[in-house]
A and B are shown apart, each in its own frame.
Chain A
Amino acid sequence: MTRLFRYCAALLLLGALSACGSSSSSTPADRAVTLSWSQNRESGVNSAGGGYRIDIAGRDPVDVPWVPGVGTPTSTTIRLPSGRYTVVVFAYAALDAQGGRTGNESAPSQSIQVTVP
């Protein structure tokens, strides 16, 4: 814990807090990976403030928000270096369970394993 804490602190001092515990930088050798899923039917997911969040173990989350005039995409293409990844997707909306607009999120989808050669 202490070692990780110091590692994070060092990164923080270098102005790279977001890199702590994950990495999303891309290199030319990375491969394109297209992730697709079924559309959610909640209006909140398919309107302003809604969207999907993709979690890839060891990487920064990928946000796929609703786009005006387009809708909420159900696929996205990312670049990943060689490796094996666990991926899940969440759906989210602006409406919360108190009738407000602080947001709400689904449980994760079933995870899949993605192997990038």
Chain B
Amino acid sequence: MKPFSAALAALLLSMVLPSGPANAAGNGPLPFDDPPGTYVPGEVIVKFKASATPQVRRAAFARQGHAILAELRVPGMARVRVDGGQTVEQAIAAYQSDPDVAYAQPNYIYQGARAPLDPLFGQVWGLKNTGQTITSQPPGSPLRYDVNYAGSNPGTPGMDIDVEAAWNTITDCSKVVVAVIDSGINYTHEDLAANMWDGREWGLPHHGWDFVDANDNPMDQHGHGTHVAGTIGAVGDNGKGVAGVCWKASLMAVRVLDKYNYGKTSNFVDGIGFAIDHDASVINMSIQGYNRRDQAYADVIEEARQNDIVVVVCSGNFALDADQQNVWPCNFSLDHGNVVCVAAIDQKDRFAYFSNYGARTVTIGAPGTNILSAGIGGDDVYYVNNGTSMATPAVAGVAALLRAHNPLFGYPDVVNAITESGRWIPTLAGITRTGKVVDAARALAFIEAPTGLTARVE
């Protein structure tokens, strides 16, 4: 470095670093480069040297015109109100130059990472991947389930949908009605009952409609829809079972699949229409079909788009290239901007071997192997399942979080936030449209570039 440059660097450094005595650890003055919002405005913490008497300390505060808010438990340490038009940075610099002060620092703000107190949450790797092994619970266990996707178990820490960070911002999606168009929902389940859609104002006490048996009781007779519902909105932090992406939710049960898990166009049309008519703003359809183009199905998906509903669907489980096949409803993503088609990844961010793919048709990936969620056959039943059906509700849950946090969002905003913010992984590159895994925290933080900029010279 040239001498002139070195001198300038030193000068610049002197403006950034408060001069004065070394801190208590002997490492020099504490730098101050903390952005606003990371510390309490108008407060600093001051630690005096052991030699500083109470009189000396009081005199130091008086010179700065600051008031002591509290003496902290460490001798000679106080929390101080910064007055007199000083910034926190200026106050710290002033104290650092006081020979009686050991150090001064901002009163930093910390956040507790929000993790729900649900006993099985540690097995829900898709929401928080710690590298845990998803383990079968043997017969006779209070909670009995089997794990049957051997690959990538245990997984890799951090390869999840990053929802724990999002929970620092929002956990409650209850103002967003999410229609689970599926085999129904076990709406009395201990981890779902409190999060079911309240249909009483519509005269629907059982939280939805059954289009298979044409009645108002969409109780799940297969288990598929209940599992999906649990990933979206199993009650969080209730000390029971698992947690969903949304700790509080409004889950509408729309039964269109029978007890064998099969459905038909007419029920899909009616089911989506029901969701439209009853104010759903997110639809989850973990359903696959390989027929020729189904115009009736397409028409009602379009009606959902016109009603500003995000429709999250699965890519299907036949390891097919959906760009080259008729895969419905996934391929509606080509013509309907409200459709997000979801592939499955495993615990190590690898593409699940069964998942359909498509560089144009499949939008994004989400965890879809060894997924633990709620079940049927009892109100405390949980089980592990695999499939793009299990990946889809993770994205639907993020869509609900986005809509709950941003009430002004239309479906293009939701879809854009999900697709733009996702976490790129090489195993999805080239076989999905975005090459990304859904990322809840980044989706919540995503900000669209402003539009419509104009200027008028007066």
A interface, CB within 8 angstroms of B? 5-6, 8-9, 12-13, 31-38, 40-46, 49, 52, 77, 87-112, 114-117
How many residues in B have their beta carbons less than 8 Å from beta carbons of A? 41
Nearest residue, chain A, Cβ from B111 = A100
In whole Å, how far is A49's beta carbon from the nearest beta carbon of chain B? 6
Once the chains bind, are B454 and A107 in contact (CB under 8 Å)? no
Give which listed residue, A35, A77, A92, contacts B447 with CB less than 8 A: A92
Cα of A41 to Cα of B168 in the assembled complex, Å: 20
Once the chains bind, are B454 and A101 in contact (CB under 8 Å)? no
**Residue of A12, A40, A46, A102 with most chain B CB atoms under a 10 A cut-off:** A40
For residue B63, CB closer than 8 A to chain A, the reply is: no
In whole Å, how far is B255's beta carbon from the nearest beta carbon of chain A? 34
For residue B11, CB closer than 8 A to chain A, the reply is: yes
Cα of A18 to Cα of B42 in the assembled complex, Å: 25
Give the contacts of B419-458 with A (CB-CB under 8 A).
421, 441-442, 444-458
In whole Å, how far is B239's beta carbon from the nearest beta carbon of chain A? 23
Give which listed residue, B168, B441, B447, contacts A45 with CB less than 8 A: B447
**Residue of A33, A77, A95 with most chain B CB atoms under a 10 A cut-off:** A95
Once the chains bind, are B450 and A42 in contact (CB under 8 Å)? no
Cα of A110 to Cα of B421 in the assembled complex, Å: 20
Nearest residue, chain A, Cβ from B12 = A12
Once the chains bind, are A41 and B410 in contact (CB under 8 Å)? yes
Cα of A94 to Cα of B38 in the assembled complex, Å: 10
Cα of A90 to Cα of B453 in the assembled complex, Å: 10
Cα of A80 to Cα of B453 in the assembled complex, Å: 17
Once the chains bind, are B453 and A91 in contact (CB under 8 Å)? no
Contact residues in A for B4 (Cβ distance below 8 Å): 6, 9
Give which listed residue, A33, A45, A97, A106, contacts B457 with CB less than 8 A: A33
Once the chains bind, are A114 and B445 in contact (CB under 8 Å)? no
Contact residues in A for B448 (Cβ distance below 8 Å): 40-42, 91, 106
Check A12/B449 contact, CB under 8 A, given A35-B454, A37-B454, A49-B37: no
Check A114/B455 contact, CB under 8 A, given A102-B37, A103-B37: yes
Enumerate the 6 nearest inter-chain pairs by beta-carbon distance, A residue then B residue, closest first.
A99-B165, A38-B452, A99-B168, A106-B447, A41-B408, A32-B458
